[in-house]
Each structure stands twice: as structure tokens, then as C-alpha cells.
Amino acid sequence: MAETQLDFNMKRTSLTYLLLLLFWLSPFALFAEDGYRAWLRYEKVSNEQLLESYRSHIQSVYIKGTSPTLQAIKSELEKGLGGLLAADVHFNSAIQDGSLLVGTADELSSFFGNELEPLLQKINQEGYVIKSLQVDGKNVTVVTGKTDIGVLYGTFAFLRNLQTHKDISSLEVAEAPKIENRILNHWDNLNRLVERGYAGLSLWDWGTLPDYRDPRYTDYARLNSSMGINGTVLNNVNADPRILQDDFIEKIAVLADIFRPYGIQVYISVNFQSPMEVGNLETADPLDPDVRKWWADKASEIYDRIPDFGGFLVKADSEGEPGPFKYNRTHAEGANMLAEAVEPHGGLLIWRAFVYSPEQYDRFREAYDEFVPQDGDFNDNVLLQVKNGPIDFQPREPFSPLFGALPNTNTMLELQITQEYFGFNTHLAYQGPLFTEALNLDTYAKGEGSTVANVISGEVFDYEHTGIAGVVNLGTDRNWTGHPFVQSSWYAFGRLAWNHSLSSEEIAEEWLKMTFTNNPDFVEPVKEIMQESREAGVNYRSPLGLTHLYAQGHHYGPAPWTSDLPRPDWTAVYYHKADEDGIGFDRTETGSNAIEQYNEPLETQFSDPETTPEDYLLWFHNVSWDYEMDSGRTLWNELVHKYYKGVETVRWMQDEWNSIEGLIDKERFEKVKALLSIQEKDAVIWRNSCVLYFQSLSDKPIPEQYEKPEHDLEYYKELEKTRYIPAPRYY
């Protein structure tokens, strides 16, 4: 091959190496593995044979189109291929052997005629096709889609193949998302403190926006777009009304401009009282014509500045947030007013179902009792956003019975990526298994197979719009998430939002390879750690269907003894109902009868402790300490066993992690090692607090084989009051 045709200019490559070497020797190298690049590290392919094969399959790039998205694609290919193949990327305007053809199907159709038609038929506007084929006798790989955003997703998917060391010699892929709106929810306050954040300050530097465009905003968009996230709600659901002021709209518009080429629409959370707080009206009554006009005008103002603005997210009449109740209006009346304001501009209105009333009854039941009678009352551009479980992002919850009970209301799922209930930024707790569990539970709304995933993707009922949201804690910490492994939950959310049939294990594997190394000696054991980590978190906190045993407010450590708070459903004793006879919340006919909210056969299954899965036993039943479990142990012994098992698993995680020393960079190895040691100490505190407290009621011994708690119950009660909590107050 003539030198001018060489696609990877070797001379320039040597210069790159020299510069790299100088970089490694410089003090900047100290930051090299701080986690900033997350899963888009694009390190050189370590396997020489594979590297050669990749280089021969991607000798040059032919890219068609000049839109901002195509420019983003070009820049990503420069970074990605440049890093992975350790060479400069040659963009060529002619097709040759080893060309990578990138562009929309329309733009590229002259090369392959109808050949891609069967694959293109399988995708929607956001989907992509990747195929190895011959054009004019030349072997090429094409990355295409119906829109340039589809091509961008295809580009990231193509790079992922290289990052995870897949064979790329005969690719044939057609992928498209099933869920239309794949949205991150930031709980960021305007003062930049992040509610349940734990990873520094908010990424959005409102003080320097709109003038300063922090390059980090682009990296944020790249990371999200690489998974197919296409929306982001910028601010906390406990919304500050000032977000609707003109100066903030200017700032938001700049973020929207930066995210647009990456296919990410911005949304904001709004406060229901905004017409009074920002607009000086005397009421926020959703049926008042002036209030309706105020919202419609406000929406027009926003859309004038941000034509592709996603819409509003609202937390109303929940935990003190204002809403339509004050005016004796329903949720549907409140939501529809806002939906009408954004509707002419193609916007969505997302209304949260996380409500519980001041009157006290089983909080489990409340959202269902509130919203099911209003099914069909919401406008077509309203989505009802429902947390996966009926209470609140606990380590394990049964699914919210609202999924499968709203045939006429677009229902979307809200998952929590940030580790509010999983040890903040100090515990390793990969949420992939929780997310897949939540998605795959069967609601039986229309017989078997009506899983939560099929409900929210609009397959069970014919929804007008579909969506999934993940509450994320991204912040100014260099690695975005605080604990390096919270990144994996962010990644799992994004990948599942795109394709809910992926398994948590394959996502973990992909993430590990891209984020650390492809070395199987690292990937295999660490994947196991990740897969076990969520169950460990359940076991040392709240096994067998216990829930909400947290210390009030911060939700870090245990306080199963909490009994005296303004609302009973903020106390732990309300949830576990333990006494000398037994433990658990009776939600059968003899109790709150929340199980009647489930479709058959679940209602029948959950009505009897014998047929209730043991993981949910104490969610639905109050049973005696001597109740016999599947293992043959009594409930008391099983409970103790689970708590001890949780701690054992963390110790096993520590051993496994120690075994991979030397296979990855020292920085991240040491950090995770230290965090695992904190996790082990915390897990012991959780276990001892809970076992000793429940023992004070059951009056049963801790079986001989287990290590004795180091301290007595009083010690742990005292500890709850004095302990340092590793998180800022966010208000």
C-alpha cells in the first residue's frame, strides 16, 4: 500500500507515543485513572492479534454528513479508534478495503442500494444497523440508521465491540430501543447541593452558565448517549420555583444546545405553586384560567428558546410539596393543566405517583388507591412515573401494583441509581440485579408474560408514550459517582433502558471490560462480586422482606428501634411490627389487604405465607418467630442466618477483590479496597444492630456457630446518635 494511502500514519503514531510517554512521566499522569473517562476509556487493544485484525478492518473512515451530530460522531471516532487502535484516524473521501462507512441510510444508499433494507426494516428512528459487506468489491463495515442520532448510537455500539474485544469481521446487527423516553432524573438543587447525591456538587454550574460551557457537559452527554439515554431532568423533584425564571431558562438553553447533538432532550422539575412564586398570581388552582394561561405562556417562552425541550416533571402533594389538593382538584386535573401547556410544542408532562397522604394507613396501598380510580383521566401526553416498589427504593421490594393496573394511563418506571439505601458512596452495590428483577416481575395484567418491562414498553397496554427514569447522583467528583462502582449502576440503567432483555451479568461484564480491562482473570471474579453485591446489601440490612429499618433522615445506618417520629410511617417499628410473638407487616385480609391490589394469581399466592416467596415473606405476613422456613430453620434462625450471610458475603467480596491486585491500576484498586473495608465495618454494624434489637423482642439465642456481636444493643443505639454520616446535608 502506498504511503499516501496509509490510513494510520505511522510517523504521526510514533509522535503520539512520544507525547504519551511524556504525559505519563508528567504530574498529570497522577489523574490518569481517576475514573473520569468511565466506560469510554478507549485504551489500546491489548491483544496484538486482535489489534491487527481491527486495524485491517478499519483502515479508514468514510463519513457522510455535516450536522452537529455527525461532527460529534467524527470526534468520537477520533477519540475511540485513535485510542483503541493506538493510531491517528484517517478520514477518507473514497471507499477502499477496510473502510468504515458512517452516515444515515439515505446519505449512504448510493453505496449499497437495497441491501440493507431488511435490516433497516427492523429498526425505528433511533435504531441502528451495523453490517460488514462488500461495496464495489471492497470489504467495508457500515454503521447506519434512519437518523443521525441512530448513526451516533450505532457508532457507540460499534466502538463497544472493539472495547470488549469482539470479532468484527462479519457483523450484522439491527438494534432499536423499545422504550421511547429513557431519562435521567437529577435531584440537584439550584445551590448545587444534590439531594441523595454523595458525589460532590451538582454538575450544573448555574453561576457560570450561560457564559461558560464547561467541557464536562459534553462528556456528560457522550457518556449518556453511548448507552442511548435521550432525556435528562436537570433539577430536583423537590423543585425550586426559580428554575422557571428567565435567567434560568437562558442557562438551561445552553445545556440543551450542548446536549442536542447527542440526542438528549432537557426537562425540568417544576413546583406546582410556581404561578404564585414566580408569576405573582394569587392562586395556583389548575382550573383557574389565569393560572392555565400563565403556564401556557411560560411553556411558549421555554419552547421559543429550546424548541426540543422535553417537558416538565412534577412531584405534587407528596412529602410537603404543593399540588392540586389544596384547591380540591385531582392529580389528573393538575397534570392535565401542565400537559396542555406543553402539548402544542410536542412536550411531555411527567407526573410522579410517589404520593402518600397525611392520613395514616398502609403506605403500600396509597398510590394505587389514589391513581387507579383516575385511570383514563390523564391527557395523552402525560406519563405517570411510578417507583419500582410500592414504598421507596428499598433494597428489595415487590413491584408496585400500579404496573399492570393502568391500561389507560401511560405508565413509566422510576429506578434509583444513587445509593440512598445502599450505603451512599462507600458501599459496592451494583444495581443491575435489582433493575432486572424489577423489570422482569410479572404483573399478570393480561395473563402470563405481562412483565413490568412489557408494561412500560407499551406492549401490554397500548400506551401513547413510554418511558423509564433513573434517579442518578452524578456530581463534580472526578469519577462522577463517588464510589467507582456506582458508575456500573448508571451504565446498567442506560443499557436496560435501551434493551430491557439484557441480563445484569452481561451488562456487568461489558462495563468491567470497558472501564477496567478485558483480562478474564479480573473480569470473572469481579463480575461475581458485582452480581452478589446487591443481595449482600439486602441480607445485612433487611432480609426476608423486612423494610425501612434505616435511621431517619439520612438513611445510611440502621435504627430498627425507631418508634417516635411525627409520622408512624417514618419509623422502623411501623414497618417491621416485631414483638415477642413474631415479626412482619400483615398485608393480607386480616391486615391492610394491600395484596388485593395484585392481579391473580399473585393475590392468592401472596395471601398465604406458605406460597409467598421467602424474599417477600415479611412484606406480606406477620409470622411467628418459630415459623418454619424452607431451609428447615425457624424464622428467627433464618433471619439471623441471613444477617450473618450478608456480612460473610462482604468479606468474600474483599477477598475476591484482593485477589485481583496488580491486574488493574493501583489508584482504583486501592480505592475500592478501602471502600470495601468501610463496607465490611458498616455491614457488621447493620447486622449487630438488627440481630440484637430483634433478639430483645424474640428472646431467642443467636445460634452457637455465629461470632458474638462485639457490643450490646445499647451501644448500637448510642452509636446511631453519634456516628459521622458520610454525606453532606443537601438543604
* Residues with catalytic function: 319, 392, 420
In terms of CB distance, is 141 or 273 closer to ligand BDP? Answer: 273
Please give the residue whose beta carbon sits closest to ligand BDP in the complex.
392
Residues 196-215 close enough to bind ligand BDP by CB under 6 A: 196
The single residue among 195, 343, 362, 535 that binds ligand BDP, judged by CB under 6 A, is 195
**CB of 393: closest distance to ligand BDP in angstroms?**
6
Cell numbers placing 581:
410473638
Which distant-in-sequence residues (6+ apart) come within 8 Å of 596 by Cβ?
A: 589, 603
**CB of 547: closest distance to ligand BDP in angstroms?**
12
Using the rule CB under 6 A, is 267 a contact of ligand BDP? no
Using the rule CB under 6 A, is 55 a contact of ligand BDP? no
# binding residues, ligand BDP (CB under 6 A)? 10
Question: Could you tell me if 672 and 488 are in contact, meaning their C-beta atoms sit under 8 angstroms apart?
Answer: no
Helices vs strands, H then E, count in the chain:
23, 15
The single residue among 354, 574, 636, 693 that binds ligand BDP, judged by CB under 6 A, is 354
Question: Could you tell me if 89 and 51 are in contact, meaning their C-beta atoms sit under 8 angstroms apart?
Answer: no
Which distant-in-sequence residues (6+ apart) come within 8 Å of 562 by Cβ?
A: 551, 552, 570, 571, 572, 573
d(CA 554, CA 552): 6
Residues 294-323 close enough to bind ligand BDP by CB under 6 A: 315, 319
The single residue among 259, 393, 625, 644 that binds ligand BDP, judged by CB under 6 A, is 393
**CB of 437: closest distance to ligand BDP in angstroms?**
19
**Three-class DSSP labels, 9-68:** CHHHHHHHHHHHHHHHHCHHHHHCCCCCCCCCCCCCCCCHHHHHHHHHHCCEEEECCCCH
Using the rule CB under 6 A, is 53 a contact of ligand BDP? no
**CB of 357: closest distance to ligand BDP in angstroms?**
15
In terms of CB distance, is 160 or 196 closer to ligand BDP? Answer: 196
Using the rule CB under 6 A, is 238 a contact of ligand BDP? yes
**CB of 558: closest distance to ligand BDP in angstroms?**
16
In terms of CB distance, is 239 or 647 closer to ligand BDP? Answer: 239
Cell numbers placing 108:
449512504
The single residue among 78, 392, 615, 680 that binds ligand BDP, judged by CB under 6 A, is 392
Handedness of CA 706, 711, 717, 723 (dihedral sign): negative
In terms of CB distance, is 267 or 516 closer to ligand BDP? Answer: 267
Using the rule CB under 6 A, is 375 a contact of ligand BDP? no
In terms of CB distance, is 418 or 533 closer to ligand BDP? Answer: 418
- Beta strand 265-269 with 311-314: parallel, antiparallel or unpaired? parallel
Using the rule CB under 6 A, is 71 a contact of ligand BDP? no
**CB of 354: closest distance to ligand BDP in angstroms?**
5
Instruction: Give the residue among 483, 408, 404 at the shortest CA–CA distance from 671.
Output: 483
Show the beta-strand stretches assigned E in 446-580: 467-472
In terms of CB distance, is 238 or 592 closer to ligand BDP? Answer: 238
Interhelix angle for 289-305 vs 331-342, to 10°? Answer: 40
x/- mask, ligand BDP, residues 417-436, rule CB under 6 A, reads ---x----------------
| Number of alpha carbons in the 13 Å side-chain half-sphere of residue 501 | 7
In terms of CB distance, is 319 or 710 closer to ligand BDP? Answer: 319
Question: Could you tell me if 294 and 302 are in contact, meaning their C-beta atoms sit under 8 angstroms apart?
Answer: no
For cell 512521566, the residue is 25
Measured in degrees and rounded to the nearest 5, phi and psi for residue 50 equal -65, -40
Residues in contact with ligand BDP by the rule CB under 6 A: 195-196, 237-238, 315, 319, 354, 392-393, 420
